Structure 1
């Protein structure tokens, strides 16, 4: 093969490659050279270029998850994964519904810790904590009878597991704010502490969870300096622990790890803790003895 023939072939190959590249850039659009961002252009499967697989659903942060998988949430959104919370506060009664991805009021729920719905109310200064299990009518409307609410801004949380829709089986926490008329006087947040006393019981919390990381808290219950061993089951566990972040009222449920036995619970209880943000969190521990429910509260500082 002559040098001229070789040079000619190389020239033709280079030209062909350049033409192919030009066609590719034209098909992709003028933004192809800026990170290949195609906006909302549909893919070959008809889904947006978001990395989704068919059947995935989105929370408000755009994160995708498979059906049945719980979405990461701080409980501050009123809508997530296609489910929306709507409610009205009338006096000391909060009435609300959850609308599903199909646009219809949700009437199917799966029990979580024996209840279809866990409802929480707390004022913006993290005072006035209430944890209720409201009643649901046939049309899907929930009614939560609250104790007296002090004037100020409140947040109402609905924690539930849908029994229908694309998020069936995945735990969700949705919330909305509500204003109570009157002169509002914020209560200062109590300083961080490891102990709290309620109804003669002393609750001690040990552990140092870090923001955004899985950790463990150990709660010990005593009375008159003696360990308590007669804790009664409450919601399929010996204690229920929830937390709210100072400032934005982000919500977290700390899951119990101590198994219920026939002998009674205590004095030490373990909880799986995942607190997403650093700063002060107000913890509310609910436990039962002699048929009476007790609620202990303390402030926990979480490091970054």
Structure 2
């Protein structure tokens, strides 16, 4: 049932880990308009957690992805004094969605541990499944060409290099976004398992690119849908690409 994921297995596919639990009363959300997803993270003592460490300039990273790996949203929600978070979502299309909360407790038994918890929900209406695009080495977004080089193997650390160009020329004016030049996340085809690919390129002002390096450790073989977010001229761009992992 939507929202009842405590028996799930996989990377970020459970609503509990090490005594921490992601809770929400939202099991359905409307389609076709902006809406909010409200949730709470409770600790091993059963109380709402309100003390979170800053990771890539934010205390909470929230992701929404549909079961066919479309509709990607990466949001930085706001927290009320009682520990209730509110993530403002753009319009959702009908279907099954998974909501991920990525955070690091700043106190308690989980202090310093990176945690990713998730729950599912349903957006009512006639759902049309979109086939996953075939694996490819490059993609285009907003006039930019993004190329990914690397052949990661499941469960093994492997470097990935992402290059950004426009009109056939290397892009060298990438601006910092979340403390780095690009943010890269992946979701596994079939179960939507989550992976955050950590950037290793040093940030030196508003002139990043064209090559960006990432530390990739994808836990499962198969196809992964990667979402690269980068900023130029104050505008955030999102490029999506399918990567096959052996």
TM-score (norm 2): 0.93
Q: Distance in 1 between matches of 2:40 and 2:14?
A: 15
Unaligned runs of 5+ in 1: 1-59, 62-72
Contact conserved, 2:175 with 2:205, CA < 8 A, in 1?
no
Q: Please list, as runs of the form range in 1=range in 2, the aligned pairs for 1:10-159 lying within 5 A after superposition.
A: 74-89=11-26, 90-91=29-30, 92-159=35-102
CA deviation string 1:129-153 (max 9, x = no partner): 0000000000000000101110000
User: What's the counterpart of residue 143 of structure 2?
Assistant: 200
In the TM superposition, what is the alpha-carbon distance from 1:87 to its structure 2 partner?
1.6
Deviation >2 Å, runs of 4+: 88-92
Partner of 2:165: 222
Secondary structure of the corresponding residue to residue 88 of structure 1: coil
- 1:263 Cα deviation after fit: 5.5
Q: Distance in 2 between matches of 1:84 and 1:263?
A: 38
Gaps of 5+ in 2: 1-5
Q: State the 1:164 CA deviation.
A: 2.1
The answer for the alignment partner of 1:27 in structure 2 is none
Structure-2 separation of matches of 1:139 and 1:172: 20
Kindly state the Cα deviation for residue 84 of structure 1 after the two structures are TM-superposed: 0.1
Q: Deviations over 1:102-153 (max 9, x none)?
A: 1101111001000000000000000000000000000000000101110000
Give the Cα separation in 1 of the matches to 2:12 and 2:46: 21
Larger radius of gyration: 1
Separation of aligned partners in 2, 1:98 and 1:220: 36
C-alpha displacement at 1:165, in angstroms?
1.7
Match of 2:228 in 1: 285
Q: Considering fraction of residues, name the structure with more helix.
A: 1
**Deviation (angstroms), 1:262:** 2.6
The equivalent residue for 1:26 is none
Report how far residue 88 of structure 1 moved: 3.4
How far apart, in 1, do the equivalents of 2:164 and 2:86 lie? 33
> Counterparts in 2 of 1:179-258, with a 5 A limit?
179-258=122-201
Instruction: Name the TM-score, length of structure 1 as normaliser.
Output: 0.75
- The alpha-carbon deviation at position 93 of structure 1 amounts to 1.2
Residue pair 1:209, 1:215 contacting (<8 A) in 2 also: yes
Contact 2:174 2:206 in 1 (8 A): no
